[in-house]
Amino acid sequence: MAAIDFSSGVPVGGDLNVAWIHGSADRRHPTDPAVQTHRYNEHTVILRQSKDTTFEAPFAFLLFGDERALLLDSGAVKDAALRTAVDSLIETWLAEHPHPTYPLVVAHTHGHSDHVAGDPSFGDRPDTTVVGHEVRDIQSFFGFTDWPAEVVPFDLGGRVLDVTGLPGHQPAAIAVYDRWTGLLFTGDSALPGRVYMRDVPAFVESIQRLAEFATARPVTHVLGCHIEMTTERGVDYFPGCRYQPDEPPLQMTVAQLRRVADAAQATGGKGIHNYDDFVIYAGMGLATNLRLIARSLAGSVRTRIRR
C-alpha cells in the first residue's frame, strides 16, 4: 500500500463544474435523488441532500486521507440515505486504495439540527467515531487548549487539516482548512445565502479572524453548507423554499469572505442587510424572526397558488 502524496504541488485542483440538485418543480412527483454526490477530486467528495427530502438541502463533505476519512456533517434527515452514500463512496475508494482497517470520523461544522440529524445512522458503523457537537466535545476531540482562537492540526494520514473555532452562528461552530486542496469549509458562517449572527460579538470576532486566516493561506474555494441566494444580485429564496432552479455556485472566494466579515462588522449588531452574494441577519430578536416567518409563509402561499 503506497502512501498517497498529500504534500506535493499543493494546493491541488478539483472540479466544481456541477449542477447541484435543487428540488423538483412539482413536489408531488419529486425527481431528485435523496443525496447527490460529486467528486471534487479523487480524494474529496461533496454531497448534498435534496430539497425533495429537506428544504435545508445541506452540503456535507467527505475527505479521504491515507489513514482515515472525515465526514463533515451528517445532514438534516434522520434516515440512512447519507450513511448509505458515504458507505458506497468509501467502499469504492478502498477498492482503489486497500486498507485492512480504515476508520471514519464524523464531525460537524456546527451543532444545528440540519447538520447533525444523521448522526444516529452512523452510531453502529464499525471503526467510526461520531464527534459530539457541544463546545466541550470539540475541544476534547481536536485537542483545543485555547478555544476558539487556536488553530489545531488534524491529520487524516498525510492529509493535514487546520481546525479553528468559529462561534457566533452557533457556539460549537468550527472552520476547517484542507492544506492539500486549499478548500476552506465554513459551515453556515459564510455561504451564498442567509448568514445568521446569533451571538453578534462572537460572530464578528470569529469571522474577522477567519478572514485573516484565509488571507494568509492559499485558499482555493470557500465552501459553506447551503445555497439560498438566487442568481439575481442581493435576492435570496424565501426561507423554506423547496425549488431553487436559479442558484449561484456553492463556492465563494476569499474576497467574498472578507466582504462577509466587513458586512458583519458594519451591521451595528441588528437588522437585515442584503448584499450581492449573501444576506446578513444581525441578531435573532423577535422582529427578525417574525420577518423570517412572514417571508416563509408568503413564499409558501405563492408556491401553492402557482400549482
Q: For all residues of the chain together, what is the average pLDDT?
A: 95
User: Residue 285: its pLDDT value, please?
Assistant: 82
Cell of 200: 453578534
In which element (H, E) is residue 258 found? helix 254-266
Nearest to 2 by CA among 90, 66, 89: 66
Residue 222 · residue 256 · CB < 8 Å:
yes
- Determine the pLDDT at residue 284: 83
Stated pTM of the model: 0.96
CA-CA distance, 32 to 50, in Å (whole number)?
A: 6
Q: For residue 307, name the pLDDT band (cuts at 50, 70, 90).
A: very low
The confidence score (pLDDT) of residue 264 equals 97
**Confidence class of residue 141 from pLDDT cuts 50, 70 and 90?**
very high
Report pLDDT for 85. 98
Percent of the chain residues past pLDDT 90, beyond the cut: 86
Q: Characterise 10 by phi-psi region: left (phi > 0), alpha (psi -120 to 50), beta (else).
A: beta
**Contact (CB, 8 A) for 71 and 104:** yes
pLDDT of res. 303: 56
Cis preceding linkage at 218, omega within 30? no
Dihedral of alpha carbons 255, 279, 110, 55, sign = negative
User: For residue 104, what are the β-bridge partners?
Assistant: 69, 128
**Phi/psi of residue 55, each to 5°?**
-65, -20
Supply the pLDDT for residue 306: 44
**If pLDDT is split at 50, 70 and 90, which confidence band does 305 have?**
very low
Which triple of cell numbers denotes residue 74?
451528517
pLDDT value of residue 291: 84
User: Of 191, 169, 168, 187, which is closest to residue 177 (Cα–Cα)?
Assistant: 187
pLDDT digits (tens, 9 = 90+) for 108-139: 999 999 999 999 999 999 999 999 999 999 99
Is residue 307 classed as helix, strand or coil in its secondary structure? coil
